[in-house]
Amino acid sequence: MSHGVPDADADPFRERSGPAFSVRKQLLGGDFRFDSASAALLQVVEAAYAGLPPHRLPVAAPEFRIELRLLPRQALPRRTEPPPVRMQSGAGLICGVMDASNYVVLAPAQRQALVVASEDMLDQPYHLRYELVEFAVFTLATRELGLVPLHGACMGRQGRGVLLLGASGAGKSTLALHSLLHGLDFLAEDAVFVQPESLLATGVANYLHVQADALRHVDDRTARDWLERSPRIRRRSGVEKFEADLRQSPGQLAATPLALAGAVFVSAEAADDADALLSPLRTGDVAARLRTDQPYASTQPGWDRFEQQLIRRGVHELRRGRHPRDAVAALHALLAGSH
């Protein structure tokens, strides 16, 4: 350091403090490179994406670069959770900001993002992973690959998949859990990304979030042990859930993107006939229901084509049976083409 000039004065924007470590992951049809001078932040990346099936789409995989930067611990009162992310955009950039030391800046046109986190966020791995790192991954992939980003789950078999849609609390995660335990391939629990032309769906099958009451229908000892030893997280809604690592589950993850055979709206209501849980929605009602269920996705490029394609495949309502495995049997039948 010449003339005794502090680093902060010589390089105020930290442009010359390059990352020391790098890892690559194949995610959502893209080739992601994560760079950081912090081994701890790259460990968060490994916890999120190590061991996942490398999904590829029938297009050349673009390369994305995400730099992760660690700032010193904040001298603030300890919070039970970090402040919520506030979104902003402009000048070709997209931002998600928790506070002055925890934020994401994305440049989609350059396929790049900067994730900045303070050391105390390492004590909040759930929020760091989902609200900062995955925010960057999901947004970059969606914009560059033209994917439709859906809030929902997706299960499948033999290369075919079915979307699970519906309001929070309807039972999507519980149905996804039992689908996993009864032979269906797990693609995603909370975020599904669909190519509108091909209806190929991809996702990140790293964690499953279920409430403790979902265990009452889990009879398999191995599956119960897997869930019960999982850490618990608290959603911003206040709901506490198990965060079960799907890579350690007794089930099967979808090895490739799944071609959607249709979608179901999961209902919390019990079926009138316990042997007929699935009922097709009227074609004229489907578009409005899809748009109400997916307010963000329905404003994105590619939505109209996705909606047309999905309606052709078929959209159903799935009501509750006597046991979650009854709903899983209905999904099996739908995927087999007989319902």
For 296-325, how does the pLDDT look when each residue is reduced to its tens digit (9 = 90+)? Answer: 999 999 999 999 999 999 999 999 888 899
5: pLDDT confidence band, cut at 50, 70 and 90? very low
pLDDT at 66 over 70: yes
Contact by Cβ (8 Å): 70, 117: yes
CA pair distance 80, 63, nearest whole angstrom: 36
Average pLDDT of the chain is 92
Residue 7 φ/ψ region, left for φ over 0, alpha for ψ in the -120 to 50 degree band, beta for the rest: alpha
CA pair distance 64, 323, nearest whole angstrom: 43
Q: Of 232, 36, 260, 243, give the one whose Cα is nearest residue 136.
A: 36
Model confidence pLDDT, tens digit, residues 176-212: 999 999 999 999 999 999 999 999 999 999 999 999 9
pLDDT at 2 over 50: no
Provide the pLDDT for residue 76. 60
Provide the pLDDT for residue 23. 96
The reported pTM is 0.92
Q: How many CB atoms lie within 10 A of CB 14?
A: 13
Contact by Cβ (8 Å): 206, 245: yes
Secondary element (H or E) of residue 98: strand 93-99
Contact by Cβ (8 Å): 190, 178: no
Contact by Cβ (8 Å): 111, 158: no
CA pair distance 234, 54, nearest whole angstrom: 29
Model confidence pLDDT, tens digit, residues 75-106: 666 667 899 999 999 999 999 999 999 999 99
CA pair distance 263, 315, nearest whole angstrom: 5
Model confidence pLDDT, tens digit, residues 235-265: 888 889 999 999 999 999 999 999 999 999 9
The phi, psi pair for 270, rounded to 5°, reads -75, 145
CA pair distance 146, 197, nearest whole angstrom: 10
* Token pair for 210: 């279920």
Provide the pLDDT for residue 3. 41
- Residue 237 burial by CB count (10 A; 0-12/13-18/19+): exposed, middle or buried? exposed
pLDDT at 6 over 60: no
Q: Of 142, 106, 151, 125, give the one whose Cα is nearest residue 45.
A: 125
pLDDT at 16 over 90: no
33: pLDDT confidence band, cut at 50, 70 and 90? very high
Which domains occur in the chain, in start order? 15-145 (no CATH), 149-336 (3.40.50)
60: pLDDT confidence band, cut at 50, 70 and 90? very high
pLDDT at 287 over 60: yes
pLDDT at 338 over 60: no
CA pair distance 127, 120, nearest whole angstrom: 11
